[in-house]
Amino acid sequence: MKLVILQEDLNKALVTVSRSVSSKSSLPILANILLETEEGRLKLSATNLEVGINYWLGVKIDNEGSITIPARIVNELIASLPAAKIELETKESTLFLSTNNFKINVAGLDSAEFPKVPFFPKNPLAVFGKEDLIKGLSQVVIAAAQDEGRPVLTGVLFTSRIEGLTMVATDGYRLSLKKISAQEIDKSVEKLIIPGKTLQEVVRIAQETADNKGGSITIKLGLTTEKSQAVFSFPNIDFSTRLIEGEFPDYQKIIPQSSTTKVIFGKEEFLRAIKTASIIAREQANIVKLVIDPVGSSGKMTITAETAQVGANESEIEAKTEGEKLEIAFNYRFLLDFLNVVEGDEIIFEAGGPLAPGVFKPTGDDSFLHIIMPVRIQG
């Protein structure tokens, strides 16, 4: 293999591809990145057997070929070089890199040992706009479980609708539901469960993806032939992830169908109040309490936090309230996670009592719903 590539292009690709390299594996080849010429382009591939990535770059190719090289070493080397053209050449199992001022060689491994990384299939399940996918995934993955005790809860459930997909995640303490529109949709697929951690990487890749022509960017979702992996296709990038097997909880049963108290308040004012209360709450149990009194509050909601060792905090915000008086407590971290991803100026909050699930949603947007289970207030 012999080719010429720009340092900026190679460095950017290596940063993205390296995030899919295995950091702990008994197989040395998984610590490497595959470099391979393919149809006039250079393809970089990496996998940890859970996720995989193929990244294509336009280059000037003199001789075709392939090699795998240690990800960490080549990443640091390329990042240290100045912005200039780099010549890459392989001789047996060694990669030679040269610029005007640098000559480097890196020992690699035979590319024949490298696992096959899935490509995007011929027919997509769905096609999304970039911004729609970023927003939708960001609002859902916050509720996916981190604990591997119940693997199915670490994933996000995708189900098809006429207009697009419904995405749901729950860790048992909260639930996020987001309906996302699609430019194309295959309604034959009833459900997929995709790991939340890999969807966070999908968001990162989408955020880093730019259209040099200034047009809109679409992202495709498909399934491998054996239907064991999902593949997201970006311009010049295919990112694959295993699917989670198992039965996702019946989330419809978790969503309350009625409430006894309803309140509408400004997002920014509530966010500021929760951040202030969290300074006290984080010293013990992370609990903040909301007090809503439609009769006696005169359009106010009170947010309080109290810790015996530190002190107490109380703040009031403007609110439109109706229904019964309610005192309900939540883990402030869950409230902040929601507030950091929800869009809009106002939030609707509903609950059927102090121990009933709290339902949060933005006003004027029926596509996003977030549920947080309350904390029992002692005394």
pLDDT reported for residue 233: 96
**Which token pair is 221?**
């979702």
- Per-residue pLDDT tens over the stretch 209-256: 876 555 678 999 999 988 899 999 999 999 999 999 999 999 999 999
Q: How far apart are CA 339 and CA 95, in angstroms?
A: 49
Dihedral (CA of 109, 111, 112, 118) sign:
positive
Distance CA 46, CA 238 (A): 11
CATH number listed for the domain at residues 126-252:
3.10.150.10
Of 86, 83, 114, give the one whose Cα is nearest residue 98. Answer: 86
Residue pair 109/68 in contact (Cβ under 8 Å)? The answer is yes
Q: Report d(CA 295, CA 308) in Å as an integer.
A: 30
Task: Please report the pLDDT score of residue 274 as a whole number.
Answer: 97
8 Å CB contact between 26 and 37: no
CATH domain 2-113 topology = DNA Polymerase III; Chain A, domain 2 (3.10.150)
Residue-by-residue DSSP string for 222-285: EE-TTSSEEEEEETTEEEEEEPPPSPPP-GGGTS-S--SEEEEEEHHHHHHHHHHHHHHHTTTT
| Average model confidence (pLDDT) across the chain | 93
> What is the SS3 assignment for 1?
coil
CA angle, 339 then 230 then 175, to 5°: 25
Residue 365: alpha-carbon gap to chain centroid: 21
Of the candidates 270, 22, 155, 134, the residue with the CA atom closest to the CA atom of residue 33: 22
pLDDT under 70: residue ranges of the chain: 211-215, 296-298, 379
Q: Kindly give, in sequence order, each residue whose CB lies less than 8 Å from that of residue 152, ignoring residues fewer than 6 positions away.
A: 193, 244, 246, 247, 248, 249
User: What torsion do the CA atoms of 120, 249, 206, 67 make, to the nearest 10 degrees?
Assistant: -50
Terminal C-alpha separation, the chain: 73
pLDDT of 50 = 94
327: tokens are 């005192």
Q: Give the model confidence (pLDDT) of 52-83 as tens digits.
A: 999 999 999 999 999 999 999 999 999 999 99
Where do the structural domains in the chain lie, given as residue ranges?
2-113, 126-252, 255-372
pLDDT attached to residue 378: 72
Architecture of domain 255-372: Roll (3.10)
In whole angstroms, give the CA distance from residue 300 to residue 321: 8
